[in-house]
Structure 1
Amino acid sequence: MSASPLHSVSVTGVVIRPEDGKVLVIKRADDGRWVPPGGVMELAETPEECAVREVREETGVEVKPVRLTGVYKNMKLGVVSLAFLCEPVGGRVRSSTEASVATWMTLEEALRAAPEARGVRIRDAMREDGPFVRAHDGNYLTP
């Protein structure tokens, strides 16, 4: 049996602006992909606290998590991500060391720009019949 962890847990904050329905997305500095903000959960924080921290660190936007919308597993990397629908409550959009760009996009723009495995988190957050459980290979959903 391996001494290292077999999984890691991350959190995704799907932030929807109520006045126009736009979605907060970042262009990742490391690989250039457009995704909702998020990252690895620290040992001493709850999933909701992680969503708040990651969105703030990556975009400058302060959020309030509303509800869990999905659980997503990257089958190649062993990363399990919990996605939360979040509402913005303050701050201003800005780039960061992890996000070369942070911006608001329409739902259609965000879904077109994001890889399928990340876009589905946005789509699922817009639905009321979740939370959803999905697996992917880093880019595409898997059966």
Structure 2
Amino acid sequence: MSVAGAVIRGDGRLLVIKRADNGTWEPPGGVLELSETVEDGVRREVYEETGIKVSVERLTGVYKNVSRGVVALVFRCRPEGGQEQLSDESTAVAWLTPAEVADRMGEVYAVRLLDALRDEAAPHIRTHDGRTLIGMSQAS
């Protein structure tokens, strides 16, 4: 299971990393460890990859990559402290506007952050092939 944090600053900017392994801009996240809760995993992954400590607010989306069989849970988060720093997994850490997210990021990662900005009660449920969304469904 994979988790990611859609970290939203008070000015509406979103926290992203440029991945060291493939150079893509993505929300910070990764694979849960066996012994940790989902929320603890989100906090750990965001902190490890960005240096930012967060509080986890709510699940905003479930995203399945049908090519790899990976399901990612994305949680809306608020920054609580720390300072931006690079890690072995990130070559850049940035706070982007929603327009910059849509412009710089691939569709399947941008939608995760843009979904988190919406004030909808139910999480979005989306399927993709690693590059392109397949349909546009939402839980009711």
Structure 2 match to 1:49: 40
Q: Which amino acid aligns with 2:117?
A: M
User: Given the alignment, which residue of 36, 58, 63 partners 2:27?
Assistant: 36
Structure 1 match to 2:138: none
Matched, 1:102 2:102: no
Q: Which amino acid aligns with 2:132?
A: Y
Q: TM-score, normalised by structure 2?
A: 0.93
User: Given the alignment, which residue of 7, 11, 21 partners 1:15?
Assistant: 7
Matched, 1:141 2:133: yes
Instruction: Note the aligned Cα RMSD (angstroms).
Output: 0.8
Distance 1:107 1:123 in 2: 7
Q: Contact 1:111/1:122 (CA < 8 Å) preserved in 2? A: no
Distance 1:132 1:84 in 2: 11
Shift in Å at residue 44 of structure 1? 0.8
Q: Which amino acid aligns with 1:11?
A: V
Structure 1 match to 2:51: 60
Distance 2:87 2:101 in 1: 19
User: Given the alignment, which residue of 116, 119, 135 partners 1:128?
Assistant: 119
Unpaired runs of 5+ residues, structure 1, are 1-8
Q: How many residues get paired?
A: 134
Q: Which amino acid aligns with 1:17?
A: R
Runs of 4+ in 1 over 2 A off after TM superposition: none
Unpaired runs of 5+ residues, structure 2, are 136-140
User: Once the two structures are aligned, what percentage of the paired residues are identical?
Assistant: 51
Q: Which amino acid aligns with 2:130?
A: G
